[in-house]
Chains A and B, each alone.
Chain A
Amino acid sequence: MTQMVPNSTNEIMAKKDTSTGPWRDAWRSFSKNKVALVGAGIVLFFILLAIFGPFLAPQGINEQAIKDHRLLPPSSQFWFGTDDLGRDIFSRVIHGARISLGVGFFSVVGSVVVGSILGIVAGYYGKWIDTIISRIFDIMLAFPSILLAIAVVSVLGPSLRNALIAIAIINIPNFGRLIRSKVLSIKEEEYITSAKAIGMKDLRILFSHILPNSLAPVIVAGTLAIASAIIEAAALGFLGLGAQAPAPEWGKMLADARVVLRNAPWTMVFPGIAIMLTVLGFNLMGDGLRDALDPRMKN
């Protein structure tokens, strides 16, 4: 019963505002979700860090002072301590935000774009095109994603850019299948038939009617995929297949810290916390978006 009260006030507010679009409704329900807001806050924090990091970092990322600063524990001068080469870990973690978020964001954008196009074509035109595209997706999904990423990187050569491409490629079938299934259900809707009855061309139907209506689950899946892409980038970096030294990539920092872990745990703890927090933030935000955008969650 206590839950009924805020619900009814929501409805009153919704009626007062005459120009409520679906997106505005979604924002209203998202902004009520405290956990999701915390997630969004974390994400925003790391985005700001990624943008302004280079101005905030107290030290340069590659400034070494091997003689006097090697493996120093956290102190007022080096907040997160220093690594085996005497570099300030705090500064490197801040700089790493740009790399990790960049890889996460751009790889997901890449797989969303390619996956959407393939998914739309497969879903809308069907028949043999659908069969070919869907089977390719099945084959790609049959491999463990990190294995596939390693294969792609070993073909292209280890570098951050190639790791990004590899992560984008392995995520394509996820988005492709998502969009395909959404298109399949939406193209049977009566408003698509009515669009055809008006005399609309296929392309216009696809981009003006089908795509906007299938976008919501993609936004949710995309947000969650950024989190896993960050982990995958870190994993590739850890394996030496992603970012190359001396780039301050979080996964690479974990790998470098492995050797000195026993004597200087801070070299591993802080990049690890950074990865965990970013992934947590994206996951919380993604869950909130799902609640806000998924019509099945609404009553």
Chain B
Amino acid sequence: MTKPLLQVEGLKKYFPIRSGVLAKQSGYVKAVDNVSFHVNEGETLGIVGESGCGKSTTGRMLMRLLEPTEGKVTFDGKELTSISSTEMRKARREIQMVFQDPYASLNPRHTVEKILMEPLIVHNIGNAKSRKKKVHEFLEIVGLSSYHAKRYPHQFSGGQRQRIGIARALMTNPKLIIADEPVSALDVSIQAQVLNLMQDLQKELKLTYIFIAHDLGVVRHISDRVGVMYLGRMAELATSESLYEEPLHPYTKALLSAVPVPDPEHKREQIILEGDIPSPSNPPSGCTFHTRCPFKMEACTSIVPKLEEVKPGHFVACHLYNEQVQH
């Protein structure tokens, strides 16, 4: 059993809602509400969910780009949530991020060389000559050429830019890469290339990924374990096979039934969820999914289900699998 590289406990992010002339606080948006999980060294944890479910917020809190309201993040034995912002900045050498939009995440006024060199300068790694060599080396690693170094981001295609974004994340030899929807902005044909590149890099450089996405197919392809989020909470967390073969949470079932199957003979039993995602500023009591759940019970409206291990390695937060509540 590999040891967990990242341990997240009870992570919360409440955004205050201010209204009125005096900016009085009138409530919270519970973007992330009590999320716990761990990531083992060398694995890929996928996090899926609809837009607004808090998956990106979670990713940003892990790096403290957003300060968590509550909760503990432990990375490689170090508690990230309690260290100073200066120390956190240094810790970011070990955790890097790949962003969603390759058009927005590269400074348009910097050459590729400057973009890639910056992490090295910031963390004071090597000298001018070795940095340049490393930039060229990593450009080759992500499938570009060293002559691309002198170009500006606008001279590249979306896929190439995302490769630059990945190269930038790799410059400091991090252990963990948080990929926030890294392929959502790309064409499907390019998505596969970038995903394969990320998988190759993982093998080669022994990376650990947290892969945030809304595309279940993409997540299945790349993840060892998958967490499903709904309205700021983790609904289900299991290994890829277990989750895709046998989803337990009604929400996961509904999500998976919506994935198109490339087989014309296949008869779909699509579970259509009624209604919209409730507002996170006023989430339903008990299980946040009870307003749309086809298997709603009495307990669901009052008691918040805990994420519990119902099968080895398969966690689900649903009263259907909790015998105590059922009877």
A contact residues vs B (CB 8 Å cutoff) = 18-22, 189-191, 193-201, 204, 208-209, 212-213
Residue B206 at the chain A interface, CB threshold 8 Å: no
Please state if B105 and A191 are interface contacts (CB–CB under 8 Å). Answer: yes
Q: Which 3 A-B pairs have the closest CB atoms?
A: A199-B92, A190-B104, A190-B105
A201 touches B105 (CB 8 A): no
- By CB atoms of chain B within 10 A, which of A190, A196, A209 has the most? A190
Collect the chain A residues with CB atoms within 8 Å of residue B106's CB: 191, 194
Contact B152 A21 (CB under 8 A): yes
Stretch at the interface among B94-102, B236-244, B254-262: B94-102
Q: Verify if B233 is at the interface (C-beta below 8 Å from A).
A: no
Using known A-B contacts A20-B152, A20-B155, A213-B107, determine if residue A195 contacts B89 with beta carbons closer than 8 Å. Answer: no
Query: Are B101 and A190 interface neighbours, CB within 8 A?
Result: yes
For the residues of A in contact with B, the DSSP-based class is helix
Q: Is B83 an interface residue (CB 8 A)?
A: no
Residues of A within 8 A of B89 (CB): 199-201
Asked if residues B107 and A18 are in contact (CB atoms below 8 Å), the reply is no
Pair B96/A197 contact, Cβ less than 8 Å: yes
Q: Bound complex: CA of A18 vs CA of B145, how far in Å?
A: 14
Given A19-B151, A193-B65, answer yes or no on A198-B122 (Cβ-Cβ < 8 Å). yes
Whether B109 lies near A212 (C-beta < 8 A) is yes
Question: What residue of chain A has the Cβ atom nearest to residue B89's Cβ?
Answer: A199
For the complex, give the distance between the alpha carbons of A21 and B99 in Å: 24
Query: Which residues on the A side are within 8 Å of B150 (C-beta)?
Result: 18-19
Instruction: Return chain B residues, CB-CB under 8 Å to A201.
Output: 89, 122
Which of A190, A198, A208, A213 has the most CB atoms of chain B within a 10 A radius of its CB? A198
For the complex, give the distance between the alpha carbons of A199 and B96 in Å: 9
How near does chain A come to B176, taking the closest CB pair, in angstroms?
A: 12
Report if A204-B122 is in contact (Cβ < 8 Å); known contacts: A189-B104, A197-B63.
yes
Given contacts A199-B90, A200-B118, A204-B122, contact A194 B97 (CB under 8 A): yes
Nearest CB of A to B309, in Å: 33
* Closest CB in chain B relative to A213 CB, distance in Å: 6
Number of A-B contacts (CB under 8 A): 68
Q: Judge whether B158 is part of the interface by a CB distance below 8 angstroms.
A: no
Which listed residue (A191, A200, A212) contacts B122, Cβ 8 A? A200
B182 to chain A, nearest CB (A): 12
Distance of A200 Cα from B92 Cα, bound (Å)? 9
A60 to B104, CA, bound (A): 59
User: Bound state CA distance, A209 and B107, in angstroms?
Assistant: 7
Q: In residues 235-282 of chain B, which contact A (Cβ within 8 Å)?
A: none
A18: chain B residues within 8 A (beta carbon): 150-151, 155
Partner of A194, one of B93, B105, B151, B152: B105
> Which residues does chain A contribute within 8 Å of B168, judged by CB atoms?
194, 198
Would A190 and B99 be within 8 Å (CB), given that A20-B152, A199-B92 are in contact?
yes
A212 to B107, CA, bound (A): 10
A191 and chain B: residue at smallest CB distance: B107
Min CB distance, A210 to chain B, in Å? Answer: 10
Residue numbers in A under 8 Å from B107 (CB-CB): 191, 195, 209, 213
**Assembled-state Cα–Cα distance A212/B165 (Å):** 21
- Chain B residues whose CB sits within 8 angstroms of the CB of A197 once the complex forms: 63, 65, 92, 96-97
Bound: A198/B123 CA distance, A: 9
Question: In the complex the two chains form, what is the Cα distance from A204 to B118 in whole Å?
Answer: 10
Question: Is A198 within 8 A of B105, CB to CB?
Answer: no
In the bound assembly, the distance between CA atoms of A275 and B104 in angstroms comes to 44
Min C-beta distance of A127 to chain B, whole Å: 11
Instruction: Give the CA-CA distance A198 to B110 in the complex, in Å.
Output: 15
Alpha-carbon distance A200/B104, docked complex (angstroms): 18
Answer yes or no: B108 CB below 8 A from chain A CBs: yes
